[in-house]
Amino acid sequence: MENVYFDSAATTQLREEVVDKMARVLKENYGNPSSAHSFGRSSKSLVEQARKTVAGILNVKASEIVFTSGGTEADNLALNSAVRDLGVERIITSKIEHHAVLYTVDQLKHCFDIEVEYVNLDSKGNIDLSDLENRLKSSDKKTLVSLMHVNNEIGNMIDLKKTAHLVKSYNALFHSDTVQSIGHFNLDLNDIPVDFTAVSAHKFHGPKGVGFAFIRRNSGLKPLIFGGEQERGHRAGTEGVHNIVGLEESLKLAYENLEEEKEYTLSLKKYFIESLKQKIPGVKFNGECEDLEKSTYTLINVCLPLSPEKALMLLFQLDLKGIACSKGSACQSGSEKGSHVLNAFLSEEDIKKPSLRFSFSRYNTKEEIDYVIKTLKEFIES
């Protein structure tokens, strides 16, 4: 095999239907959505139809959807405005959040002197809800809790509805990065009392450079980017109509095909886990990724029985064989610090061993898994 792509948690292949629809919009609907003439109105109608489609899928109001450049901007919008405009004095989060959250929280602590607390994790990287409740009880300061629904490195899932109800019972705000879950799981945000979420289209076979924030109505959030009155004043800047339409089409197709594609992708995950256990003695599974009930069906994170010296060449050798995977999130692939997620809960012994994230989609096959396993086995035994 020349190319095997197992890095869908970093980004996904675009669906052909999405590419075709975006191409038509680029060619035919080039008017500025803010312009009053027919060209502008044509583009504006596409943006607003996409907003209605997204809102309908999540069972929320169209006015609660704000298109952004992606999940990072959506996270920044919610967190910054919560402190700057809503009077939040304390943020409770975890040490395994995406850096879009962790680095933003660090900056807010530096600039606004807010309190930051990190909820305890168990030995598998799960959020300790009892500790979260104790922290919520411990202070009357206005608090925002930020916990991601599906972890992008180890696949652990929180009970989003249960967590949201716990947070709201103490009158705190709740933000959740749902970048790895929307498009892969049915979420009724009218039923789940979360205040803010973040979404990226390129995680569910849509284009890069576009996403959205769900902002609960009457929240009082103010814009992060100032300029024009686009996005009902929440986000200035001329909308990328082709990207927004691409997001709409990819999200619509994701949910139209959800059950079939989920079943198929889950079968790949099961096969991958079983094959690793059979062919590579000593392999370990990080977090809850081996547990099909407690983790997403889209990825596994494995700790391989290799010396630190040999591990240095692992990703290079896989790349030479045409295999794409990740040693953590794509956002930190150039970092020498290793995975902050794994560092938060793995033992010192396992931290020294190489860990890889394999993430998959509807485009992968069992034959590709066989090739990856064979390549790993040959490298380990060489």
The pLDDT score that the predictor gives to residue 336 is: 57
Catalytic residue among 289, 303, 325, 331: 331
Q: Is pLDDT at 329 greater than 50 in this prediction?
A: no
Which of 16-30, 141-155, 160-174, 316-330 shows the lowest mean pLDDT across its residues? 316-330
Query: If pLDDT is split at 50, 70 and 90, which confidence band does 334 have?
Result: very low
Query: If pLDDT is split at 50, 70 and 90, which confidence band does 332 have?
Result: very low
Q: Is pLDDT at 330 greater than 90 in this prediction?
A: no
Range 9-21 average pLDDT:
98
The pLDDT score that the predictor gives to residue 328 is: 58
The predicted model scores a pTM of 0.95
Query: Within a 10 A sphere around the Cβ of 48, how many other Cβ atoms?
Result: 13
Percent of the chain with pLDDT over 90: 91
The pLDDT score that the predictor gives to residue 308 is: 80
Place of tokens 């500025």: 32
Q: Each residue of 230-270: pLDDT tens digit?
A: 998 999 999 999 999 999 999 999 999 999 999 999 999 99
Query: Where do the domains of the chain lie, and which CATH numbers do they carry?
Result: 4-12+258-381 (3.90.1150.10), 16-256 (3.40.640.10)
Q: Is pLDDT at 162 greater than 90 in this prediction?
A: yes
Specify whether 289 is catalytic. Answer: no
The pLDDT score that the predictor gives to residue 259 is: 98
Helix axes 16-28, 241-256, angle to 10 degrees: 150
Query: Within a 10 A sphere around the Cβ of 293, how many other Cβ atoms?
Result: 6
Query: If pLDDT is split at 50, 70 and 90, which confidence band does 312 have?
Result: confident
List of long-range contacts for 363-369, beta carbons under 8 Å, 24+ apart: 363/5, 363/13, 364/5, 364/6, 364/8, 364/265, 364/268, 365/268, 366/268, 366/271, 367/1, 368/1, 368/4, 368/6, 369/268, 369/271, 369/272, 369/275
